[in-house]
Amino acid sequence: MPTTPAPARRKNPRPDQGRSAPDVTEGRLLISDLLQIVEQDLDPKEVKAIYQAYLFGAEAHEGQVRHSGEAYIFHPLSVARILADMRLDSHSIIAALLHDVIEDTPTAKKELVAQFGKDVAQLVDGVSKIDQIEFDSPEHAEAENFRKMLLAMSKDIRVILIKLADRIHNMRTLDALRVDRRKRISQQTLDIFAPIANRLGMYAWTQELEDLSFCNLYPKRYDAIYKELGKRRGNRRKIIEKTKKNIAEEVEQAGIEATVVGREKNIYSVYRKMQKRRVPLVEMGDIFAIRIIVRSADDCYRVLGLMHNLYKPVPGKFKDYIAIPKANGYQSLHTLLFGTFGQSIEVQIRTEDMHRVAETGVASHWRYKTGKEKSGPQMPTHSWLVDLLDTQQAGDPSDFLEHLKTDLFPDEVYVFTPQGDIKKLPKGASALDFAYAVHSDIGNHCIGARINNESVPLHQELGNGNHVEILTARSAVPTPLWLNYAVTGKARAAIRNFLKNQQEGDAVKLGRQLLDRALKSEGLKTRLRTDQKIELLKRIGREDWNELLGDIGTGRRLPKIVAKQLLPGSSNNRASTTAEPLPIKGIEGMSISYARCCRPIPGDTIVGLFSHGRGIVIHKASSMNNKTCRNVDKQGKRPDNWIEVEWAEDIKTTFEADIRLEVVNRRGVFATLASVIAEEDSNINHVLVTARDDRNSAIRFTIEVRDRKHLAQIIRRLRARRSVIRVSRTRG
């Protein structure tokens, strides 16, 4: 049975050493081999265009060599050969031959348009990296290049086919690079490119990329599994052959035309199963599989019945991907059987068309057997791409990469809507992810869910076959806590977008308040004139007044400075007045936060500190023992950074406070303390227990309180417990 060969481990010259002149003869052999393949299906004009592309690429890359020392044109030729083996159209082959000319040579896109047409030029441009822009970090550059590639891919799926073929050949020749670069490229391949190939249903490419990456990241583990599989292959050859013969005879007797083949799982998937099950390789039972290829879907189910009659099925291990295909279009029946000799055997049953899609995935939609290029793939993968890009057009680069990797997660669960529709979500997805999968508006206003008619919280993990109904309320809105249990990129992007817009709205509102106070302190008693606003916006390079207010609300600009810019000479010409302190109600939104270093609560004397990007952070003006908060001391020399604030009278929310207890180690002491806190209408948000010795422990609670009186009542109740030695409020 076929298995993935161990990649060659040879020493190559360093990139700056041992370079040889381009081998013209070898280049001719490669192009001749490529032309012989495409001549079988393409017309002579297309074959001629491919040869012209080779000549153009060879001239553009003349003098360039790879790290291995070979002529650079060998790489595009090899990439084109990989695509030719997949029987792709002529434009894909031409673009593969030219895929590096925009990025690595002076060739411009318009030159490719003139020589080979707009379609080829767009494919080459889609594969090329963005080198003309300077980015803040390598991560930012990587994210933007992936974003560009996926955008081009959503318009034309051939872009990613060329990129994957390019990555496959680079991985095959990776041993010419330094070890650190090999590992970095292999990790990126394992994180991004192999999952993309898997998402597109291209399992042959997926397995090769996985094994090549695994070999470079963990060569010793790879070699150990490779050698062990070789031993087991020899020991089990007779068993597998006997099983194949029994299955073939059973199917033939039933009058079903079928092809029965054996296959071995690729090395990386074996390693992944070992990790998941936490078992050594010697205990792995389903490494070898039998694949039965029949003529129709009806035959698939008939063969399944024959298999379950011939061998006993393992309960709970049957999967019907024909009735419910995977998101990448994969269809097959999977079942796990107890074999004749007691070993477990995985059997996959599919039609010839299903097998072709399983091996080549989305590439099967671009095959040129008919001689007609198709306008685009009609596969679920395309809707996945569009959905991914809709939620990722903007935002932090690290967020984009995080969402991309999440959405490439291969394992899925299938759940049902109240109307009976099927939703496919990544394994580990919550009811909240389901809500956003239905519609972003439902997600933004959900308050709970019903799974199989039972009420559950939003963080409830979904299982296969669940019937899910989302409960909503117009008053409900996302909170930052939702990001802790949202798994899908769509849900996380929608939550972040809502919070960002909410923060911007809060910032504008707060900025208006702060600027009004600052203007009042400068003596302005009338409303600002429009010409004053326009003049200031021009001076500071802002286009919108709300943008300026948002800058003030988030601490990027100080209101006193802006007020003086609006009213030049105000300190000389106007009588300054003292503005009233800003009232703090605890519900101002995300532009006002409370310092963890001192945990201010109503009743404490407070002061506000402008923090860049966060707005106003409320600190205690003084803490226990009349000691000032250390951050107040640190920033005290910059008076412009501070704003006078005071607690409002009608506060109806709760705040966090820290208390520290020293207790005697007794059975049930923690439960008793938690009960006292709950009886006082408070909630424990965090707890830290430190054992001081065998008899005493220190416990630190972060609890919710309304004000100092509420906190004092809780402390009095706790101090009255016999097991409590002392209790006090502490800094955050």
User: What is the set of active-site residues?
Assistant: 103-104
Residue positions counted in the chain:
732
Q: Can you count the helices (H) and strands (E) in the chain?
A: 28, 21
CB under 8 A, 24+ apart: contacts of 374-379: 376/156, 376/157, 377/157, 379/201, 379/328, 379/329
DSSP-assigned letters across all residues of 718-729:
HHTSTTEEEEEE
Asked if 606 contacts 584 with a C-beta cutoff of 8 angstroms, the reply is yes
Short-list 85, 93, 70, CA closest to 15: 70
C-alpha dist (Å) from residue 573 to 517, 544, 558: 18, 29, 22
Element (H, E) at 572: helix 570-573
Q: Give me the phi and psi of 251, to 5 degrees please.
A: -70, -40
Helix, strand, coil shares of the chain, percent, nearest 5, are 50, 15, 35
Q: How many C-beta atoms surround the C-beta of residue 299 within 10 A? A: 20
Classify residue 465 as left (phi > 0), alpha (psi -120 to 50) or beta: left
Asked if 435 contacts 470 with a C-beta cutoff of 8 angstroms, the reply is yes
Asked if 177 contacts 136 with a C-beta cutoff of 8 angstroms, the reply is no
Helices (H), 420-521: 431-438, 440-444, 489-521
Cα 460 vs. chain centroid, distance in angstroms? 20
Name the packing angle between helices 545-553 and 559-566 (round to 10°): 150
Asked if 167 contacts 189 with a C-beta cutoff of 8 angstroms, the reply is yes
Short-list 25, 27, 117, 104, CA closest to 60: 104
How far apart are the C-alpha atoms of 407 and 437, rounded to whole Å? 12
Short-list 155, 87, 77, 89, CA closest to 122: 155
Short-list 727, 712, 713, 708, CA closest to 669: 727
How far apart are the C-alpha atoms of 512 and 530, rounded to whole Å? 15
Q: Across the strands, what pairs with 293?
A: 259, 350
Q: Which residues contact 209 (CB under 8 A, 6 or more apart)?
A: 164, 167, 168, 171, 189, 190, 193, 194, 197
Query: What residue type is assigned to position 151 of the chain?
Result: L
Pairing of strands 288-294, 259-264: antiparallel
Asked if 463 contacts 500 with a C-beta cutoff of 8 angstroms, the reply is no
Short-list 223, 233, 167, CA closest to 195: 167
Asked if 143 contacts 400 with a C-beta cutoff of 8 angstroms, the reply is yes
